[in-house]
Amino acid sequence: MELLQTILITLFTLAILVSIHEYGHFWVARRCGIKVLRFSVGFGKPLYRWRDKLDTEYVIAAIPLGGYVKMLDEREGEVPAELRHMAFNNKPVGHRLATVAAGPLANFILAIIVYWFVFVAGVSGVAPIIDKVEAGSVAELAGLEAGQEIVAVDGEPTPTWEALHLQLLERIGDSGEIEFTVKYADSDLTYSSSATVDAWLAGEEVTDLMAGIGVELYRPKLIAQIDQVVAESPAAQAGFETGDIIVQADEQPIAEWGDWVEYVRERPQQAIQVQFLRAGQPLSAELTPARKIDEQGRAYGQVGMGVKWPEWPAELRRDYQYNAVSAFTASLNRTWDMSVFTLQSIKKMLMGLISPKNLSGPITIAKVASASANSGLTSYLSFLALLSVSLGVLNLLPIPVLDGGHILFGVVELIIGRPVSDRIQALGYQLGFVIVISMMMLALYNDISRL
């Protein structure tokens, strides 16, 4: 069921991004007088099709992993004399450039609109309070201490965990000083200090930026208190109830929920003697986890319990409300920042400052899409906007077969006054195809390696 949900959410997400991208091409092509033969969402065998009054065929195809807009073009077949003025290749270079650029532009517009909804709904986060500092780490060298709040990095405000992560992401692969501005909870005074880094996290697969600087941020302790018991599950059959607090398993102390989860997962179909508190009274029960199989074919235990999540202290919450105008400004800034960050990351990867191991493919995208959807509408919309920005930026790269490659040929044509020769374009498309396929294979390999 979980796998099916992940697949459906991923296909839905791709359908939105691809449809918007291709509609950008379609909309501008129509206004430039270019005849559109087909607008397809998906590839392969058509499942449903219809035509409009301008004889454009609309298709929903069987393989929902992309889409395309097919335009009339003499380079792809014979065109009747009366329609040659509507062929893509016969239009002025400005019209062709506008049509090609409209796809990525549509993705940026989608991101702005989605971010606007997110900001209007309100944005919440928690303050980055240092809980622990690792000895010999970047944080210790900078003099950071437990209990301090990181309020800025390199002069950029970091009021929430998300803001702190984004600011640190920009420093991956850099050398020089990272400046931290901090303050204590009971004071408004701020203190600045810095640490010198050399190719920070270059060549590494980055999974935890906080560990990269040697900091563990404060979070409320997640005790093993039950908030949900699934009907007819091992937990229900053993008599557990909402509110019970697990304190021992086979006489081993259970300090936090993670300890309990790990203990259960390692013991499928093995009886566990559980000591717990109910309304302060100590009780015990025998519990046998059910045997489940994960995506890699490994067996693990499951008992059918849900944890009671602790509330964040009010003083650590950061809630931001925007009106329609300020939300639009914020959405423009966020789209711009994400676009610049994507380009900087590509540049650093080409320079070897960011490991190609950080490149993610369809499996990672699917998992994150599903996780963000499970976290709520705002989380999913933020992820959708981020993907839309990434798609727009990547399509503008000057690689033949991508929109950016077509734009490159168009710009060269404007400069030299004639189209780039068919031979050079063909060689460019072959090279571009190899580059794109190689990157896709690398991303897929990284996905599989993470599994």
* DSSP assignment of 310-340: PPPPGGGEEEE---HHHHHHHHHHHHHHHHH
Instruction: Give the 3-state secondary structure of residue 47.
Output: strand
Q: How far is CA 386 from CA 13, 259, 299, 332, in A?
A: 12, 34, 35, 13
| pLDDT greater than 70 at residue 1 | no
Token output for 138: 């970047």
pLDDT confidence tier of residue 202, bands split at 50, 70 and 90? confident
Q: What is the DSSP letter of 35?
A: P
Domains of the chain: 99-122+323-451 (no CATH), 124-220+311-320 (2.30.42.10), 226-307 (2.30.42.10)
In the block, tokens 């963000």 appear at: 372
Residues 6+ apart with CB under 8 A from 224: 245, 246, 247, 254, 256, 257, 259, 260, 307
- 127-156 burial, b at 16+ Cβ within 10 Å, e below that, comes to bbbbeebeeebbbbbbebeeebbbbbbbee
* Measured distance CA(3)–CA(9) in Å, rounded: 10
| pLDDT greater than 80 at residue 33 | yes
The predicted-structure confidence for 272-303, as pLDDT tens digits, reads as follows: 999 999 999 999 999 999 988 876 778 899 99
Q: What are the backbone dihedrals phi and psi of residue 176, each rounded to the nearest 5 degrees, phi first? A: 120, -155
| pLDDT greater than 90 at residue 101 | yes
In one-letter notation, the amino acid at residue 118 is: V
Residue among 199, 192, 186, 207 at smallest CA distance from 153? 192
The predicted-structure confidence for 330-381, as pLDDT tens digits, reads as follows: 999 999 999 999 999 888 888 888 888 888 877 788 788 888 888 888 899 9
| 22 catalytically annotated | yes
Q: Which of 2, 22, 78, 315 is catalytic?
A: 22
The predicted-structure confidence for 119-158, as pLDDT tens digits, reads as follows: 999 988 999 999 999 999 999 999 999 999 999 999 999 9
Q: How far is CA 417 from CA 80, 100, 196, 273, 412, in A?
A: 27, 19, 51, 82, 8
